[in-house]
Amino acid sequence: MSDEKSSFGKKAAISFGIGAVIAGGSYLINWIQTRRQNNTNEAISNSSSITDLNLSKNFNGISKGNKKSDWNSSPCDSNKTDEMKKSFDSYESSSKPEKSKTEELTNPSECKGDSHNDLNELFKEVDDLFEKDGHSQKMALNLLKELKTSSLKNPNVLWRLAKGYQLIAKSQTDIELKKNFIISGLQHASEAIKLEFFNLDAHKWYALLIFMEYQYLPISEKKEKGSEFLKHANLVLFERKNDYLLHYSLAKFKYEGLTDNRLKNEFSEFGVSDVISELKLADSLSPKPCKEIKFLLAKCYLLDNDVAEALDWLKASWKVESKNDFDAKCDEEISSLLKKLQT
């Protein structure tokens, strides 16, 4: 009997120990998740200062009169992350466009499988293809499209699809087709965010696609879309301070807010020095010399009545090789300004 009691005591002690470990692990997971939420909320609270946006009280990352959650409010509120998610879901559902009618690209390649290693190999192949020409980018997009239909939803597949649609949209000359690709990209990026709210790549490509859409909107709709762009861009830039594409888009966004008289009331906080600072940061981060950034810097210095500095940037922009029709149009304006300022 004493042996049975002893055995029972040992089993009870082991069971108690296992239960304690499980309980402790559960507590640790909850603590980590809470810390992660608080850190993200703090990132959102401080994001404006990170990118020197200095948003006014009427534009704290949300539109005037907008009743959505304020992404810049106190990070001490433990429910704020849930509010952010609800805010995103509310915005996404209210502005969700009809399913796009994008053209078929090519026949999708054969899927390589759904195991962890296969996915990583496929992601590497896709990421490499994205860095090449337009045909390679279409191949990458088709690989991802087939993977999406053959496997469970994966946020890392979805944000790459969003990236693919953004890259394809950039190369389109047909405006309506470009818009359809933007819509498809936004749908995939928003789906990725819903599946994994803390996925920064999903927020990045959502922001870049919002900015592309923003450029084709009427003035009456630009305020709200501009707000959405800033929210997602700032969230990513808090963690990735040197993201070139986001700084480039942010610089162009600020420049338009500064120079378009129809937007000045909405984006009055964007001063010339602020736009110059953002453009110079984008220029320093650019992997290759960018004609447009240097040209916009020249125009900003002209707005600031600094002709000497403007001339330097005009000459620098002129030296950058033109690679497309947009660059050619820039060259025409640069040539005209150089003649005007040097006579």
- Mind listing the pLDDT tens digit for each residue in 7-28? 444 444 444 343 443 344 444 3
pTM comes to 0.64
pLDDT of residue 172: 83
Mean pLDDT of the chain: 72
Contacts of 72 (CB under 8 A, 6+ apart): 44, 45, 47, 48, 55, 60, 61
Is there a contact between 77 and 41 (Cβ–Cβ < 8 Å)? yes
pLDDT of residue 290: 94
Q: Can you state the angle between helices 80-94 and 175-195, rounded to 10 degrees?
A: 150
Least confident of 56-70, 98-112, 124-138, 297-311: 56-70
pLDDT band at 59 (very low <50, low <70, confident <90, very high): very low
- Whether the per-residue pLDDT at 90 is higher than 90: the answer is no
Handedness of CA 235, 188, 123, 285 (dihedral sign): negative
pLDDT of residue 316: 97
pLDDT of residue 68: 34
pLDDT of residue 151: 54
- Whether the per-residue pLDDT at 270 is higher than 90: the answer is no
pLDDT band at 318 (very low <50, low <70, confident <90, very high): very high
d(CA 45, CA 151): 37
pLDDT of residue 38: 45
Residue of 150, 141, 147 lying closest to 105 (CA atoms): 141
Least confident of 35-49, 300-314, 323-337: 35-49
Residue of 132, 119, 120 lying closest to 164 (CA atoms): 132
Contacts of 68 (CB under 8 A, 6+ apart): 62, 87, 90, 91
pLDDT of residue 15: 44
Region 92-109: what's the mean pLDDT? 40
Proportion of the chain above pLDDT 70, given as a percent = 59
Report residue 216 as tokens: 């084709």
Q: What is the DSSP string of 262-296?
A: TTTTTSTT--HHHHHHHHHHHHHH-SS--HHHHHH
Residue of 40, 37, 83 lying closest to 62 (CA atoms): 83
> Which one-letter DSSP state was computed for residue 115?
S
Region 89-94: what's the mean pLDDT? 48
Higher pLDDT, 99 or 330: 330
- Whether the per-residue pLDDT at 115 is higher than 70: the answer is no
Handedness of CA 235, 238, 240, 241 (dihedral sign): positive
Q: What is the DSSP string of 230-253?
A: HHHHHHHHHH-TT-HHHHHHHHHH
pLDDT band at 147 (very low <50, low <70, confident <90, very high): low
Range picked from 42-51, 69-78, 258-267, 323-332 for highest mean pLDDT = 323-332
Is there a contact between 250 and 278 (Cβ–Cβ < 8 Å)? yes
pLDDT of residue 152: 58
pLDDT in tens, 213-241: 999 999 889 988 998 999 999 999 999 99
Region 289-315: what's the mean pLDDT? 96
pLDDT of residue 88: 55
- Whether the per-residue pLDDT at 66 is higher than 60: the answer is no
Domains of the chain are 118-235 (1.25.40), 241-342 (1.25.40.10)
Phi and psi at residue 184, to the nearest 5°: -60, -40
pLDDT of residue 241: 94
